[in-house]
Amino acid sequence: MSNTKDKSIIDLDDDNDDDDDIPLSHRANQHTSSGNSTLSVSDENEDDSHIPSRETCQALTEQFAQVTGTDTALAQFFLQDRQWDLERSVNAFFESKKGGVKVLQDGEENELVVTFDSKMVEALEGVQVSTVAPSKFSIISWNIDGLEPSCLKKRTKAVIKTIEEERPDVVFLQEVVPVTYSYMEERLPQYMFIAAGSEGYFTTMLLLRTTVYFDGHELVSFPSTVMSRNLLVVDAHIGACNLRLMTSHLESMAEHSEERKKQLNMAFDRVTCAPSKFNVIFGGDLNLRDKELAAVGMPSRVDDVWEATGKRLAAQYTWDLTRNTNKQMASKFQPRCRFDRMYLRRSDKSASPASKEKEIKEGPSVAVIRHFGLVGLKKVQGTQAFPSDHWGLHAHFEIV
């Protein structure tokens, strides 16, 4: 759900929260997609097909850690964002540290001393780095209602806290605005941010740097949208599990049902036409009514994650005004809808040209749904508001 009129961007510091001293900037362009073409996150438009082998990646992380005196977890941060270019990554590491680089010349040999802001290192405390790929992962999808100015800073902080506590490998966000994008990016350095815009409101995807490897992304425009809606598509992998991740905020309001069905059709086409090696996961605030889904038709081999996990009533409604008081209708009747949804099309191993020997060597590659629940169900401390007028989706998958 969304108000179609853009509200003015407000400064999160206006909430009079004195515990935050990081300056806020209106930036959302470091990992931003625009237009219909496939774009590289790199400013130099490097070809993502040149990502090295896993063995080479491991060697590069070890070299980075040795040169910088850090560890392989931090090495992955810098190398992934710079297409595994060791020289660029090391230079970026030293240049990004507050206090800069100082060379001491008191002894026989020069000694390099680096002082830096340890925010990213602190974010990795307790994280165990392993060369063994995870056997499970989870995804949160959440419309965080960035267009609503009431308690915006406190609500955004609650979203951040939820992400930190749940530690999903992937996050789909809708209704992100420039100021909340910047605020979240500062506080979640362990995630790579990929935005579908930089003005008004837009979707954003987060990838946990220590488990999910980014391979490329594309932004697909909906040609007849009147609300600047689009489809953000990201390719990534967790070990041998290839993922095509898709999020969108489909056209809002009942009167735009026909446009919404067109957009859903386009998204489902992308899901079903993806190469068989991909586990395709599509989710977001789809503003979907059951009759619209019936009119479009559910594609074969595609599962509704909520339905596949037993259709639990407690997790059915994601925009529920009978429980969530952030938005209320003037009448006694308060609607509840399943606007937010998530779909999975599993990879097809049998269609892969890889031999059984190679398949066994590289490990499992099929994502299987194990659990589905909701997040954001508690009111934000010190307010009468929930983090958003939408509940967030949290889906858990096993790689088998």
* One domain, residues 252 and 290: yes
In terms of pLDDT, which residue wins out, 26 or 78? 78
Lowest mean pLDDT among 45-54, 209-218, 224-233: 45-54
Q: Evaluate the CA torsion angle 77, 38, 236, 63 in order and state its sign.
A: negative
Determine whether 145 is an active site residue. no
User: pLDDT at position 63, please?
Assistant: 86
* One domain, residues 297 and 365: yes
The whole-number average pLDDT for the span 73-90 is 81
| Three-class DSSP category at 349 | helix
In this prediction, residue 83 has a pLDDT band, given cuts at 50, 70 and 90, of confident
Nearest to 344 by CA among 290, 395, 386: 395
Q: Which residue(s) pair with 13 in the sheet?
A: none
Residue 327: CATH number of its domain: 3.60.10.10
In a domain, 243, yes or no: yes
End-to-end CA distance of the chain: 35
What does pLDDT average to over the chain? 82
The first and second tokens of residue 373, run together, are 């629940």
* The pLDDT of residue 89 is above 70: yes
User: pLDDT at position 1, please?
Assistant: 60
In a domain, 251, yes or no: yes
In a domain, 39, yes or no: no
The pairs formed by 159-162 with CB atoms below 8 angstroms and a separation of 24 or more are 159/184, 159/376, 159/387, 159/388, 160/184, 160/187, 160/188, 162/375, 162/376, 162/387, 162/392
* One domain, residues 211 and 277: yes
- Beta carbons of 267 and 231 less than 8 angstroms apart: yes
In a domain, 38, yes or no: no
- Beta carbons of 340 and 318 less than 8 angstroms apart: yes
Exposure string for 110-141, b = 16+ CB within 10 A, e = fewer: eeeeeebeeebeebbeeeeeeeebbeebbbbb
Count of domains in the chain?
2
In a domain, 22, yes or no: no
- Which residue, of 98, 123, 148, is where some domain finishes? 123
Calpha distance 208→193 (Å, rounded):
9
* One domain, residues 113 and 237: no
Q: Where are the alpha helices (H) located in the chain, listed in sequence order?
A: 54-68, 72-81, 86-96, 119-123, 152-166, 178-187, 257-273, 290-296, 305-308, 356-362
* One domain, residues 94 and 183: no
Domain that holds residue 114: 48-123
Lowest mean pLDDT among 62-71, 112-121, 160-169: 112-121
Compute CA distances 15 → 151, 185, 200, whole Å. Answer: 7, 19, 20
In a domain, 34, yes or no: no
User: pLDDT at position 57, please?
Assistant: 87
Calpha distance 384→326 (Å, rounded):
8
In a domain, 11, yes or no: no
In terms of pLDDT, which residue wins out, 30 or 365? 365
* One domain, residues 218 and 362: yes
User: pLDDT at position 82, please?
Assistant: 82
Note the pLDDT tens digit of each residue in 55-81: 888 888 888 887 777 777 777 777 887
User: pLDDT at position 118, please?
Assistant: 56
* One domain, residues 117 and 136: no
Q: Tell me phi and psi for residue 153, to 5 degrees.
A: -65, -45
Nearest to 250 by CA among 368, 155, 141: 141
Residue 107: CATH number of its domain: 1.10.8
* The pLDDT of residue 345 is above 60: yes
* The pLDDT of residue 105 is above 60: no
- Beta carbons of 284 and 203 less than 8 angstroms apart: yes
* One domain, residues 137 and 266: yes
The first and second tokens of residue 80, run together, are 């992934």
In this prediction, residue 132 has a pLDDT band, given cuts at 50, 70 and 90, of confident
Lowest mean pLDDT among 105-114, 300-309, 367-376: 105-114
- Which residue, of 123, 155, 170, is where some domain finishes? 123
* One domain, residues 357 and 211: yes
Contacting residues for 265 by C-beta, under 8 A, at least 6 apart: 296
Residue type, 263: Q
Q: Which of 81, 169, 235, 285 is catalytic?
A: 285
Secondary structure in 3-state letters for 1-17: CCCCCCCCCCCHHHHCC
User: pLDDT at position 50, please?
Assistant: 64
Calpha distance 62→56 (Å, rounded):
10
Note the pLDDT tens digit of each residue in 223-236: 999 999 999 999 99
In this prediction, residue 126 has a pLDDT band, given cuts at 50, 70 and 90, of low
In a domain, 286, yes or no: yes
- Which residue, of 80, 100, 123, is where some domain finishes? 123
User: pLDDT at position 172, please?
Assistant: 99
DSSP secondary structure code for residue 32 in this structure:
B
* One domain, residues 92 and 61: yes
Compute CA distances 369 → 42, 138, 331, whole Å. Answer: 33, 10, 39
* The pLDDT of residue 14 is above 70: no
The first and second tokens of residue 347, run together, are 């990879």
* One domain, residues 300 and 390: yes
* The pLDDT of residue 24 is above 50: no
Note the pLDDT tens digit of each residue in 261-319: 999 999 999 999 999 999 999 999 999 999 999 999 999 999 999 999 999 999 999 99
Q: Using only the alpha carbons of the chain, give its radius of gyration.
A: 22
Note the pLDDT tens digit of each residue in 180-212: 999 999 999 999 999 999 999 999 999 999 999
* One domain, residues 145 and 257: yes
